Structure 1
Amino acid sequence: MKPQDFYQLFTFMSSIIKDYLPPCDPLACYGMPVARTCECCLTDWSINITALQCDLDKKIFGQHLAKEVILKTMQKEKRLKPLVLSFHGLTGSGKTYMSQILAKHFNPRGAESQFVHKIVASVSFPHKSDIQTYKDQLHAWIRGNVSRCEHSLFVLDDIDKMHPELLHSLKPYLDYHDNIDGVSYKKSIFIFMSNTGANIISDLALAFQKQVNQREEIRLFDVHNKLSNYLLTSMKSEYYNCDLIKNSVIDIFVPFLPLELEHVKMCIRAELKRQGRKEDKKFVSRISKRHGLLP
């Protein structure tokens, strides 16, 4: 086995090892308190929209569109299919942080829950020659986890680097089906994350800035149309130009605008406060200048 193949296998197994821990005795979940190492599937859990909005207001800055669409989407409790969100934006704009906040409100244990799962496509599926093996692994991973708990959250990062054939193969699990081989996926949530279309979002934000318009005047309708058209027509987005879009399997595209300098400062101040540290203006200024994407 080549070193890179061993690393790929190790990374994939590390990302799913918690998914194969022995489940709790179902009877214990409805009776006496269970051990801390035991986690019960919360089939009747619902997201507290007020608490989610409060969390987003305190922790997510410069992303009024993402917050708007997330809050609106999460208010729908009954679904006929799994919820599929596609996060788009530059690296560092808050996609991963948003997924972590959603995980926290989706499950009390957040990202540490046995029922919250994440894979980085560029690391777990690097070789085009192994697509069939990857399909088998990915399908078994999804099917196995939802069989254990239908209230599961899947985060697939670097989705634009996943081979199109592998991405297309996910369609049955994301579409309108009562069940597949006895397993229902309706209560699960899938979050795709990528940089695809980030240039479209950034250009729109910059255009508004040049017109001396307020960033908050950017409407979701404008971004959604431009982004979806780009994903369907651009050769650069071949990984998204598939049945997932054409058949509306992806429920909503969530745009993340490039952060302005002041937004980065707000993020730093919030993190300092979380850590119980006093605000140091020079420190905040120095760190923020390394990251600011728009002046």
Structure 2
Amino acid sequence: MLRTTPSRTVIEQTKQDGSFRAIKCQFKECCTKRWINLNATELSSSLRDQVYGQHLVIKAVVRHIKAHLSNKDPSKALALSFHGGTGTGKNYVSKIIADHLYKEGMKSGFVHMIASTKEFPHADMVPLYKDKLRELIETSVNNCEKSMFIFDEIDKMPPGLIDTIKPYLDYYDNLSGINYRKAIFIFLSNTAGTEILQQTLRFWHEEKERDTIELKDMEKLVTTSAVNTKTSGFYHSDVLLRHMITAYIPFLPLERKHVRQCIQDYLLLKKYYTNYGDIEEGKVRQIAEQLQYSPEEEQLFSTTGCKRVPEKTGYVMEED
């Protein structure tokens, strides 16, 4: 049998293409280590410095992200489900993860933020949305196997839509030649926020330190609420029932001391003050009092976390 070998021209062209690609990737984002590279120590440090009152989040996020990315052949895609009330840091933590994994952060072409209320507003258009979602995921991962998908407001997603992504979270080596196991999926939801608050309040009434709350104290509450709440987006979902989620991560309600820390950060960010030592405690207290707290009797937790800190800070500081 005759054996054929690549012509000299083909070999040279291949080398030229490789050289061109290497040069291009020096300046333009590519799916390479130059553009996608985790420093777990820096991620942990940033979470500890910038995220308040969320000891469960910091530990779990760093461990899962590090374990997934250090595995050259993970068994499945990483799927993290963030649960908690408004303003507790779910979006913020997602941004920090992206900033420490992708050189371009949230602006990376490999990071996809999907806001349910914007992308899937009509419950009667679920079949169309399913096709769009499949196309986005398949095209993105085909382009870069380390793509990240952040699904915001899962609790506002039409029922049944989330199951579209189940195959991409499963233990398949590949689907139609594409390997999805190195991708990262993050789901953000207010579902179980009430249950998380009640459990945190229970610890407070029992005079237990907040930092003694463990994941095992919350995980069942979160999963039960997510799968049984009709408006959760995960209602009776195969993604949950088939155990496709790697970890359920609860975001605890923020106390006044955490809100004050957010206020201090924002005052510095907007250059109302130049350093922490200059910040007037009276101003911080005044801004904090503009927010609402619950439960009605204890007035312990901010009902909107740190979400409304910017507008309340602007309101108070402009009085002068």
Same fold (TM over 0.5): yes
Q: 1-side partners of 2:48 and 2:147: how far apart?
A: 25
3-state DSSP of counterpart to 2:284: helix
**What CA distance in whole angstroms lies between the structure 2 residues aligned with 1:186 and 1:61?**
31
- 1:1-295 correspondence runs (5 A): 27-31=19-23, 34-35=26-27, 38-42=28-32, 45-76=36-67, 77-78=70-71, 79-235=74-230, 237=232, 239-275=234-270, 277-278=273-274, 279-291=279-291, 293=293, 294-295=300-301
Q: Structure 1 residues 253, 85: closer, same or farther in 2, change over 3 A?
A: same
Q: Following the alignment from structure 2 to structure 1, what is the Cα–Cα distance between the partners of residues 19 and 136?
A: 25
- Deviation, 1:203, is 0.4
Please tell me the residue identity of whatever aligns with 1:42. T
Relative to 1, partners in 2 of residues 1:27 and 1:267: Cα closer, same or farther, differing over 3 Å?
farther
Shift of 1:116: 0.8
Q: Which amino acid aligns with 1:286?
A: Q
| Identical counterparts, % of pairs | 36
Retained in 2: the 8 A contact 1:29–1:40? no
- Give the C-alpha shift of residue 33 in structure 1: 6.4
Report the residue type matching 2:178 in the other structure.
V
Deviations 1:164-190 (A, max 9, x none): 221111101111111111111111111
**Given that residues 259 and 292 in structure 1 are in contact (C-alpha distance below 8 angstroms), is that contact kept between their aligned partners in structure 2?**
no
In the alignment of these two chains, the number of paired residues is: 269
285-294 or 97-106: which moved more?
285-294
Following superposition, the deviation at residue 191 of structure 1 comes to 0.6
Partner SS state of residue 75, structure 1: helix
Counterpart of 2:311 in structure 1 is none
Aligned residue for 1:20? none
| 1:233 CA displacement | 3.9
Structure 1 unpaired stretches of 5+: 1-24
CA–CA distance in 1 between the matches of 2:18 and 2:138? 19
Residues 25-58 of structure 1, C-alpha deviations (whole Å, 9 max, x = no match): 87545236644xx311125844221111110111
Normalized against structure 2, the TM-score is what? 0.78
- Cα deviation for residue 292 of structure 1 reads 6.1
Please identify, of 117-126 and 234-243, the stretch whose mean Cα deviation from structure 2 is larger.
234-243
Larger Rg: 2
Task: Answer whether contact 1:28 1:34 (CA < 8 A) is retained.
Answer: no
Paired residue secondary structure (1:170): helix
- In the aligned structure 2, how far is the partner of 1:256 from the partner of 1:138? 27
Answer whether contact 1:264 1:292 (CA < 8 A) is retained: no
TM-score calculated relative to the size of structure 1: 0.84
Name the CA shift for 1:103/1:180 in 2 (closer, same or farther; >3 Å).
same
- Per the alignment, residue 4 of structure 1 pairs with none
Alpha carbons of structure 1 residues 80 and 288: separation in structure 2 relative to 1, 3 Å: same
Structure 1 stretch 233-242 or stretch 222-231: which is displaced more?
233-242
The residue identity in structure 2 corresponding to 1:290 is Q
Shift of 1:260: 0.4
Alpha-carbon spacing, 1:132–1:236, altered in 2? closer, same or farther (3 Å): closer
In 2 relative to 1, CA 101–221 (structure 1 residues): closer, same or farther, beyond 3 Å?
A: same
**3-state SS of paired residue (2:161):** helix
Q: Residue 16 of structure 1 aligns with which residue?
A: none
How far apart, CA to CA, are the structure 2 residues paired with 1:238 and 1:74?
A: 24
Instruction: Note closer, same or farther for the CA distance 1:26–1:202 as it changes in structure 2 (3 Å cut).
Output: farther
Q: Which amino acid aligns with 1:240?
A: Y
Task: Summarize deviations over 1:193-242 as a string: whole Å, max 9, x none.
Answer: 01001011000111111222211111111111222233334555463321
1:161/1:239 contact within 8 Å kept: no
